[in-house]
């Protein structure tokens, strides 16, 4: 991560952007400015995202804590078949999405637009909640992510999805969670999974390798911890199969929050561990729009959605 005061200010703006529920009645033409400035835009994105094309089952518990729940989004064709009392095959690919918010803010409802977007593209999609700081610090949010992934995997057939075609996607802090939870077998093992059970992992603008002690995010990690003890690039551990899933690590061309070195170091560490890793840059994207443009109403902002869908098509279909 960058060490300038400007970065700290940008991070604070991003936290407010992910936490806000105050935006209503903003015209569509303002979306580019909203996203580019990391302003409160999540509610707006969900307001303008097309409705009626998918169905959703909300608030399914994967654990006992109130924050340990998720929503499942179904593609239109699958939803129609279910509502018509047909018996669809359990062969849909499954995606688990983990939102960002500096491990302190955000929730699954604010990222409904991602669930809509992926379901519209043909993926059964779980958008998860997880416990957050300050009440819960590392490794709680990574353990929750692993538990949610495992729950989704083990229950895939109930949602007409194929457990052999599972991808995990995360943005920002959620990318940290996703990559950390899958690349280190110690997180999945308690829930009956190992890294190779997952087909692919996509991290978008993830802070995988930085000295958190120099940033406000230090409060979400144990006080006496060092980067070597918590950053996923130093904790890669394959399961009994000795294999990792494939990884796509995406960066935003104009990211002023998470520095490129995070992806560079994570890719190097995964490659050294024997994993197949692809890195891609999203042109014209900043930290906020690298996820905002997943909305089907914002595909003109940058190419993150087609880049991501192209990768999933190759790995899950």
Tally of structural domains, the chain: 1
Q: At 151, is the secondary structure helix, strand, or coil?
A: helix
Is 168 part of a structural domain of the chain? Answer: yes
Is 181 part of a structural domain of the chain? Answer: yes
Is 49 part of a structural domain of the chain? Answer: yes
Is 237 part of a structural domain of the chain? Answer: yes
Supply the range of the domain harboring residue 135: 38-316
pLDDT in tens for each of the 317 residues of the chain?
A: 443 444 455 445 444 444 432 232 222 323 333 333 333 455 555 655 555 668 999 999 999 999 999 999 999 999 988 888 888 899 999 999 999 999 999 999 999 999 999 999 999 999 999 999 999 999 999 999 999 999 999 999 999 999 999 999 999 999 999 999 999 999 999 999 999 999 999 999 999 999 999 999 999 999 999 999 999 999 999 989 999 999 999 999 999 999 999 999 999 999 999 999 999 999 999 999 999 999 999 999 999 999 999 999 999 98
Q: At 127, is the secondary structure helix, strand, or coil?
A: strand
Count of helices and strands (H, E) across the chain: 12, 8
CATH of the domain at 164: 3.40.50.1820
Q: At 266, is the secondary structure helix, strand, or coil?
A: helix
pLDDT for 71 equals 96
State the pTM of this model: 0.86
Count Cβ atoms below 10 Å from residue 279 Cβ, excluding itself: 15
Q: Starting from the edge strand earliest in sequence, which strands make up the sheet with 277-282, in order? A: 55-61, 69-74, 124-128, 92-98, 161-171, 200-204, 246-252, 277-282
Q: At 111, is the secondary structure helix, strand, or coil?
A: helix
pLDDT for 12 equals 54
Is 195 part of a structural domain of the chain? Answer: yes
Is 4 part of a structural domain of the chain? Answer: no
pLDDT for 85 equals 84
Q: Cα–Cα distance between 211 and 55 in angstroms, integer?
A: 41
Radius of gyration of the chain (CA): 18
DSSP-assigned letters across all residues of 39-83: -S-HHHHHHHS--SS-EEEEEEESSSSTT-EEEEEE-HHHHHHHH
Is 260 part of a structural domain of the chain? Answer: yes
pLDDT for 46 equals 62
Is 284 part of a structural domain of the chain? Answer: yes
């Amino acid at each position: 991560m960058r060490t300038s005061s400007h970065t700290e200010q940008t991070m604070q703006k991003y936290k407010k952007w992910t936490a806000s529920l105050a935006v209503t009645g903003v015209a569509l033409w303002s979306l580019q400015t909203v996203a580019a400035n990391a302003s409160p835009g999540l509610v707006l994105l969900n307001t303008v995202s097309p409705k009626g094309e998918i169905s959703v089952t909300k608030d399914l518990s994967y654990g006992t804590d109130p924050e340990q729940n998720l929503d499942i989004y179904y593609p239109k064709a699958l939803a129609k078949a279910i509502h018509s009392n047909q018996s669809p095959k359990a062969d849909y690919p499954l995606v688990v999405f983990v939102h960002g918010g500096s491990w302190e803010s955000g929730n699954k409802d604010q990222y409904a637009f991602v669930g809509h977007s992926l379901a519209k593209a043909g993926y059964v999609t779980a958008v998860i909640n997880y416990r957050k700081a300050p009440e819960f610090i590392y490794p709680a949010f990574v353990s929750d992510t692993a538990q949610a992934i495992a729950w989704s995997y083990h229950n895939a057939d109930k949602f007409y999805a194929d457990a052999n075609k599972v991808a995990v996607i995360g943005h920002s802090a959620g990318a940290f969670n996703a990559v950390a939870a899958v690349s280190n077998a110690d997180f999945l093992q308690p829930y009956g999974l190992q890294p190779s059970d997952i087909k692919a992992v996509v991290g978008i603008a993830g802070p995988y390798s930085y000295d958190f002690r120099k940033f406000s995010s230090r409060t979400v990690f144990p006080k006496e911890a060092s980067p070597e003890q918590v950053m996923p690039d130093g904790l890669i551990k394959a399961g009994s199969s000795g294999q990792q899933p494939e990884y796509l690590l995406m960066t935003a061309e104009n990211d002023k929050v998470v520095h490129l070195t995070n992806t560079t170091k994570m890719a190097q560490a995964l490659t050294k561990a024997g994993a197949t890793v692809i890195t891609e840059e999203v042109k014209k994207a900043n930290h906020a729009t690298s996820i905002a443009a997943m909305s089907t109403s914002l595909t003109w902002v940058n190419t993150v959605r087609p880049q991501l869908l192209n990768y999933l098509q190759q790995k899950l279909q």
